[in-house]
Amino acid sequence: MASRSALINVMHKAATAASRGMLRDFGEVENLQVSRKGPADFVSRADTNAERVIKAELQKARPDWGFVMEEGGVIAGADADAPVWIIDPLDGTSNFLHGIPHFAISIAVKDKGKITAALVFDPLRHEYFFAEAGQGAFINDRRLRVSGRRRMAESLFATGIPFLGRGDAAAHEKFGKELQKVMAVSAGVRRFGSAALDLAYVAAGRYDGFWERGLSSWDIAAGILLVREAGGFVSDFASRDRALDSGDVVAANPAIHAELLKTLNAANNDTA
C-alpha cells in the first residue's frame, strides 16, 4: 500500500473537494454557463469553481506558497524562494462541456525550479495518480511503472492536435507529418483531449508514449513528474530537459523514447 506524505494528502484533499461540484456540474452539463475564451478553448463554471476550491484548500495548508493557475494567473508567494502550486482545475474542458467522460484535475509543486510533487485526479474513475521526487509514482494504492514494450510496432501512443487558434497552418502540417510517421510504425495513436491524463497513462503503462507541442505548464507539470517517477523519459523534441518551459513534450518508456524522438524529427526533416 502506498504511504502518502502530508503534502500529497493536502493535494488529495484539495482535488477531492473540488471534484464534488465538478461532478454535479457534469451531471447537468447541458445547463452549464459557458463563455468563450478563444478558438476551441472554453472556460466553464466548473473550471472556475474548481480552481477556487483548490486554491482555498492549498492556501489554508501552505499560506506562504505561490500559485500558477490556468484561470487565476500567477500569485506570488511570501518570498522569491517559496514553492509554487501549478494548477489546472479541469484538464479536458472541451470533453467536459460535451459530456465526454474524460477529464482530470492536475496539481503540481514547483520548488527551486524543479517539479517535486504531482497529483492528477480522474474524478469519474476515482483514480488518483500521484508522485513525489525520488519516491516513485502511484495510482491509488498501487505502484506505477511505465510499459516494458521495446518495439514501436507494438506500442500505442497518445497525442494532441494543435488548435488553429493557437498556431497556424504550418503547425497543422507539421503535426500531420508526425502523425503519419508514427502511425506507420506503431500499433496506433489516440487523441483523448487531456494531456494530464495522457501523461498519467504513460506512467501507468497504458500508453507507451505521448507527444504534443505548445502546451502550458499547468497541462504537463504533474504528468512530467509522474512519468519520470514511474521510470519513463520526458524531454522536448531536441531531447533536452526543457519540456516544462517550452511546452513541447515527448514522453515514453526508456526503450521507446529515443525511437519516438527519431520518428518525430524524421517527419519534420522529410522534404518529400
Quickly list DSSP for 139-198.
Answer: ETTEE--------GGG-EEEE-PPPGGGS-HHHHHHHHHHHHHHHHHSSEEE--S-HHHH
| Contact between 198 and 210 (Cβ < 8 Å) | yes
> 8 Cβ partners below 8 Å, 6+ apart?
117, 119, 130, 132
Residue 99 pLDDT level (bands cut at 50, 70, 90)? confident
Residues 6+ apart with CB under 8 A from 14: 53, 54, 57, 58, 61, 107
pTM of the model: 0.93
Q: What domains are defined for the chain?
A: 6-143 (3.30.540.10), 152-269 (3.40.190.80)
Measured N-to-C along each axis, helices 45-61 and 6-27 cross at an angle, to the nearest 10 degrees, of 160
Helix (H) or strand (E) holding 38, with range, is strand 34-38
pLDDT higher than 90, residue 3: no
Rg (CA), the chain: 18
Per-residue model confidence (pLDDT) at position 30: 60
Report CA-CA distances (Å) from 262 to 225, 230, 269: 23, 22, 10
pLDDT exceeds cutoff 50 at 40:
no
- 57 is written with which cell numbers? 484548500
- Owner of C-alpha cell 531536441: 238
Per DSSP bridges, beta strands 127-132 and 114-122 are antiparallel
Percent of the chain residues past pLDDT 70, beyond the cut: 91
Which pLDDT does position 37 carry in this prediction?
58
pLDDT for position 114: 96
Higher-pLDDT residue of 75 and 272 is: 75
**DSSP single-letter state for residue 72:** T
The residues near 11 (Cβ < 8 Å, ≥ 6 apart) are 58, 107, 109, 117, 119, 130
pLDDT band of residue 186 (cuts 50, 70, 90) is very high
Q: Which strand (E) or helix (H) includes residue 74?
A: strand 73-75
Question: CA neighbours within 13 Å on the CB side: how many for 140?
Answer: 5
